[in-house]
Amino acid sequence: MALKRRDFLKGAAALGAGTAAGFPHIWLKSASLAQAAGGTIKVGVLYSLTGTTAIIETSLNQATILAIEEINAAGGINGAKVEPIIEDPASDPATFAQKARKLVVGDKCVSVFGSYTSASRKAVLPVFEKYNNLYWYPTLYEGRECSKNVIYTGAVPNQQQKDFIPWLVKNFGKRFYLIGSNYIYPKEENNVCKILLKKLGGEVVGEEYVPLGHSEFSSVIQKFKDTSPNVIFSTVVGDSVVALHRQYKAAGLDPKKMPMASLTTSEEEIAAMGGEFAAGHFTSAPYFQSYDSPENHKFVEAFRKRWGKDKVTNFVSEPAYFQVHLFKQAVEKLGGKDITPPNIRKASWGQEYKAPEGLVKIDPKNSHTYLWPKIGEAQSNGQFKIIEESKEWVEPLPYWAYPGQVCTPDGLETKKT
Amino acid sequence: MTDAINQLFTGLSIASILLLISLGLAIIYGTMGVINLAHGEFVMLGAYSVWFLQKFLGIGLIAGLVFVFIIVGAIGWFVERTIIRHLYHRPLDTILATWGIGVILQQAVRLGAGAELRYVKMPDSLTQAIPIFGVDQSAYRIFILLLTIALLVATYYLIFRTQFGMRLRAVTQNPEIAKCFGINTARVYSMTFAYGAGLAGIAGALVAPLKSVAPDMGTNFVVDAFMVVVVGGVQSLLGTVASAAVLGQVSGVIAFLANDTLAKALVFFGVVILIRFWPQGLFAMKMRRG
């Protein structure tokens, strides 16, 4: 019997109505409040395990699971076990949003740990703001964000560069060439760099952005040779990092005279490009695997034992690890009552934890984290030698480059000048 | 003066890499009319093959080139035999099919070898910079340039001076008449596709130490390769060379004067205008297609 259009429309309408009635949380806002009850605390783990950024996000997933297992082995949080719900958004921001919705609305997680790229964070932000949930974001980023539903445990530009730029100027000179990938993160970092250089009397001899994934740097290297900067401030990401380093060395340039200073080259990228191409260049980050502290040794050992003895830890997987412990302390403080995302957020303010990099604290003013910037020189064995480290923790100022704006616990405020 | 020499070499280097990647595609497209969107993935397979040879069998880059040619050529031959040969009269379907093959190859490599960036070692003898006319140039880039010229000469020899090449040219001109003359067109097509794939593999292997090895590295290359082939004119080896030289030098110059993003945009824009006025490319073969 042929399906008449009328019958089809009736059937579809009935199905739609049935779905809406059967899943009230789609349109009832109050039904989406995530509450933890009955002995387990559900958290979402949202890192790409496949796709272009899977390379680094897998390590974030592994660090998160390691921390959760440690917490559960020690008895959980006030006796309740932490249950991770792992989703794979496949390096696609749209899928990030979809999976985030599933974790927040469907699984009713009280918090979600996730994201590496700013694009994926921006994609999931509406989900967390609409359902008033909590997102823990461990990756260094460009700042300029102040969401009431995110806790940021990665470094912002003022923490990355406040000591780095003066050190570079002092040790190498005042002429900087800025090269970055063509998107918001390098542009904001370069903005901060230029402000700092101006204060130090430095000079920007070139500023350039290459397409994401670009790998042909012969023109760029020619410009390096032409303008003779003292420092190449590099914010290229991904494949471009590897290509740039290799072509730099193949062209005969010398890191002792014209080093590349970057915020994004980690132990993972060095492994991909080959130690001899990385040697002699510098990175600024709050964490390096080679950092000598008892907490770090314990972390690296535990990570290797759990995931493989050839694994490396890096300055994104370390925050992914310690943020789970900060979460645990916040939930513990609630004492088993009313474990909801807004309460966890308030309880996390001021929490301190002895992370592998040092003692970290969540800043109540802007939900960012006090961190310990360090400067490392890449070695040919794939690790970093720590040349300088900050004597005290550095306050996070996500709007440092924008004096008219400040991040407060209630959101972004514009100062009346 | 140093600037000019530097610029010349930058352009030559970019051009040689472009030519290396496009040569295989030019042969496949020029002789068989097959739009092979999986060409970038053959390049990627070449890079992964050389990584595999280096990491697990300890064979260096230069020694491994022959194996890479054979491995990727064999894969190309297999692809042609199973899928492409059924689609010779359906060019639109070939596009879809080769795109699908490209996706499958990419994901297969991702599942098999993992998504991490892989490290291919540059031969120690070529890591230095050698002075040419008083200016330091990367020895490895010069090696690529020389090898590209060698491959070009070998391809020219193959097509214009051997029996196989003659059969290939006959089949390109008119497959039906060629069959009447007793040429096994199916075999010629398979071998040609395999040769084109093998060249792409060598391109990937050579480019790997200079760039990085990732499952999705092929996508960028296939776009550049098609640009070179379209601008140069189908079925013209000389056209491909000229087009690679022009596009390479032009993008090098614009990138130096402005930046790489603008260079890419302007080069594409230039290609669009060029195609508008010379739809057959720079060196079109004037002949009737049977």
Q: What is the model's pLDDT at position A31?
A: 37
pLDDT at B41 over 90: yes
Contacts of A237 in chain B (CB under 8 A): none
Give the orientation angle of helix B218-232 with respect to helix B91-113, to 10 degrees: 150
Q: Which residue of chain A is at minimal alpha-carbon distance from B250?
A: A219
Q: What is the model's pLDDT at position A29?
A: 47
Regarding beta strands A260-262 and A352-355, do their DSSP bridges make them parallel or antiparallel, or are they unpaired? unpaired
> Which of A214, A243, A273 shows the shortest C-beta gap to B119?
A273
What is the per-residue burial (b if ≥16 Cβ within 10 Å, else e) of B261-288?
eebbeebeebbeebeeeeeebbbeeeee
- Of A208-222, B110-124, B231-245, the range with the lowest mean pLDDT is B110-124
Q: Mutate which of B1, B212, B213, B221 to disrupt the A interface (most A C-beta within 10 Å)?
A: B212
CB contact under 8 A, B118 and A219: no
Contacts of B121 in chain A (CB under 8 A): 274
The DSSP output letter for A103 is: I
CB contact under 8 A, B214 and A239: yes
> Which of B117, B209, B256 shows the shortest C-beta gap to A222?
B256
Query: Best-predicted range by mean pLDDT among A289-303, A334-348, B48-62, B247-261?
Result: A289-303
Q: What is the model's pLDDT at position A327?
A: 95
**Residue A90 and residue A50 in contact, taking contact as beta carbons nearer than 8 Å:** yes
Regarding beta strands A231-235 and A260-262, do their DSSP bridges make them parallel or antiparallel, or are they unpaired? parallel
pLDDT tens per residue across all 417 residues of chain A: 577 888 888 888 878 777 666 665 455 444 334 555 567 899 999 999 877 787 789 899 999 999 999 999 999 888 899 999 999 998 889 999 999 999 999 999 999 999 998 889 999 999 999 999 999 999 999 999 999 999 999 999 999 999 999 999 999 999 999 999 888 889 999 999 999 999 999 999 999 998 877 888 888 988 898 899 999 999 998 778 888 998 898 888 899 999 999 998 888 888 878 888 999 999 999 999 999 999 999 999 999 999 988 888 999 999 999 999 999 999 999 887 788 999 999 999 999 999 999 999 999 999 999 999 999 999 999 899 999 999 999 999 999 989 889 998 888 888 765
Q: What is the model's pLDDT at position A22?
A: 61
Percent of chain B with pLDDT over 70: 97
Q: What is the model's pLDDT at position A24?
A: 56
Return d(Cα A282, Cα A259) in angstroms, integer. 7
Q: Name the residue among A146, A103, A107 with its Cα closest to residue A124.
A: A103
CB contact under 8 A, A218 and B115: no
CB contact under 8 A, B138 and A274: no
Contact with chain B for residue A148, Cβ under 8 A: no
Cα of A223 to nearest chain B Cα, Å:
7
Return d(Cα A58, Cα A50) in angstroms, integer. 8
- All structural domains of chain B with their residue ranges: 2-123+133-218
ipTM of the prediction greater than 0.85, yes or no? no
Q: What is the model's pLDDT at position A20?
A: 64
Q: What is the model's pLDDT at position A38?
A: 60
> Which of B127, B141, B259 shows the shortest C-beta gap to A208?
B259
CB contact under 8 A, A249 and B252: no
Cα of B141 to nearest chain A Cα, Å:
8
CA distances from B122 to A277, B196, B207, B209, B257 (A): 11, 24, 10, 5, 30
Cα of B257 to nearest chain A Cα, Å:
9
Contacts of A215 in chain B (CB under 8 A): 210-212, 217, 220
CA distances from A54 to A48, A147, A213, B200, B216 (A): 5, 26, 15, 27, 12
Is the pLDDT higher at B129 or at A138? A138
CB contact under 8 A, A274 and B119: yes
pLDDT at B289 over 50: no
> Which of B6, B118, B260 shows the shortest C-beta gap to A214?
B260
pLDDT at B290 over 50: no
Contacts of A180 in chain B (CB under 8 A): none
Q: What is the model's pLDDT at position B285?
A: 62
Q: Quickly list DSSP for A19-88.
A: HHHH-GGGT-SGGG-----TTEEEEEEE--SSSTTHHHHHHHHHHHHHHHHHHHHTTTBTTBEEEEEEE-
Query: CB-side exposure of A169: number of CA atoms within 13 Å?
Result: 18
Rounded CA Rg of chain B: 19
